[in-house]
Amino acid sequence: MKPLAVLAAALAPCLAGADQLPQGLLRMSEVAPWIATDIRYAREFNFTGGVVPGYEAAECIVTEATAAALIAAEESLNADGYGLILFDCYRPQRAVDHFLAWAGSGKAGVVDEVFLPGIDRNRLIGGGYIAARSSHRFGATVDVGLRRIGDPMLYPQHVPGQRCDGPVAERPMDSSLNLGTSFDCFSPLSALDAAVPEPARRNRERLRQAMQDAGFASYAAEWWHFRHATDPAQVALDIAVD
């Protein structure tokens, strides 16, 4: 694995092409296009049931240090035949506001049956599932999944009757690997240490270990959520992802 300092230096020439972004932020598609992406809020299949405001393009935007750490985690996983899937990175405040409005609307959506198994939408904020001040706003927090190198990307779509914490054959699969739940599943089974079957537990640990070794801290309630622990606090921004 390359030292993080070497990786960070390798990113420097790419920063000149990171137009329209504040200094210190960059697009992963420009520095590491080999890392798989499924930026979920840029398409309709996410818990809101539609493209989220601020996600005009399916781009993963992060700080320089976070980008270097993601590349390190990817290289570590590649050595064992695995790789990352980037689901979400920098999140505009307008997207956070949209989540809050969606949760407080009380309306039932067509994909609620998928992402909200056994929980009412109006309980998501009080239950800690949706935050008014998301750490994603700083560009150092990412939502990631795990894939097996060589397997095709799945890009799940809405299938009536599926639920995110159901059996493998009855839930949207983000990759060919079992992680216990789908990404963004509002369920107790999404907790990092939830009692999920052995293949899923092993895959979660593989992902967590690679991210931790690269300098990320995990989040107990969501197996996919990681914050770059050594990145200094940034000023929260509200720029469109384009």
| C-alpha 170 chain-centroid distance | 22
**Mean pLDDT of the residues in the chain:** 89
What pLDDT digit, counting tens, does each position of 38-57 carry? 999 999 999 999 999 999 99
242 inside domain: no
Q: Which residues are catalytic?
A: 222
233 inside domain: no
> What is the DSSP code (8-state) at residue 215?
T
Tally of domains in the chain = 1
234 inside domain: no
Q: What is the pLDDT along the chain (242 residues), one digit of tens a residue?
A: 443 454 545 555 444 444 578 888 999 999 999 999 999 999 999 999 999 999 999 999 999 999 999 999 999 999 999 999 999 999 999 999 999 999 988 778 889 999 999 888 888 887 778 888 888 988 999 999 999 999 999 999 999 999 999 999 999 999 999 999 999 999 999 999 999 999 999 999 999 999 999 999 999 999 999 999 765 556 556 666 66
Nearest Cα neighbor of 166 from 202, 206, 137, 197 is 197
Task: Please list the alpha-helical segments (H only) found in the chain.
Answer: 4-15, 28-31, 64-78, 93-104, 112-115, 198-213
83 inside domain: yes
48 inside domain: yes
> What is the DSSP code (8-state) at residue 164?
T
CA-to-CA separations, 9 to 12, 53, 154, 174, 228, in angstroms, rounded: 5, 33, 33, 32, 18
Residue 222, beta-bridge partner list: 219
Question: How far is Cα 83 from Cα 136, in angstroms, rounded to an integer?
Answer: 22
Decide: helix, strand or coil at residue 61: strand
71 inside domain: yes
- Region of 80 (left: φ > 0; alpha: ψ -120 to 50; beta: rest) is alpha
The enclosing domain of 162 has a CATH number of 3.30.1380.10
User: Helix crossing, 64-78 with 4-15: angle to 10°?
Assistant: 120
Domain limits for position 14? 4-228
